[in-house]
Amino acid sequence: LMIAIKNTFIVSIIATVFATILGTLFAIGLYSLSKKKRQKWMLLNNVPILNADIVTGFSLMLMFRLLMPLFPNIFGLFTLVMAHLFFTIPYVILNVMPKLKETDPNLMDAALDLGVRPAKALVKVLVPAIKAGIFSGMLLALTMSIDDFVISYFNTGAGFDNLSIWIYSVIGRRNLTPSVYAFSTLLTLFALIGLLAYQLIKNKKKGTV
């Protein structure tokens, strides 16, 4: 159980970090496109969300199997992280995009006109303006990654099981240990405490403005 919990956090944290960074960059890139092009790309972005998990998981598994002649031991941590990235990035994009629409469209141009380099303007000007969307997208990506079973089941291997796969393998053979219920309770409490702390900090900042 402890190994499964450790694997769950390893996969979820790695996938969430990369999904947050890539999703934010993709959202900024999509926002800079024209409205028609943006709508087309957003339709493509919504495919992993609207698609059935079993179809997504099976399709990714077939894709990874094509790489097995080159990388025989590909299934495991790598495939699990890549699969989680595939379905978590769209959630980050969907959370960041509305915040981008709320910002001044000339914000980046103004920063560049004042002599700030593009990379620094992105980090120092645009990212702080959309940090609420980035944070909510990160939380949603982390939640979806920890919670996922179907896609993980099709794309794991080499005995690398996360918590959901471990629970599935245990059910039917023996009863779940109390440790599983304790971990689930702690995870829920930590998530609730984190959300409440974020809301309190947000309200405090609004009160000081």
pTM of the model: 0.84
The residues near 156 (Cβ < 8 Å, ≥ 6 apart) are 75, 76, 79, 80, 162, 165
pLDDT digits (tens, 9 = 90+) for 69-102: 888 888 988 999 999 999 999 999 999 999 988 8
pLDDT digits (tens, 9 = 90+) for 131-151: 888 988 998 999 899 888 999
Q: Which residue has the tokens 């947050």?
A: 20
pLDDT digits (tens, 9 = 90+) for 43-59: 888 888 888 889 999 99
Inter-axis angle of helices 77-102 and 2-31, nearest 10 = 40
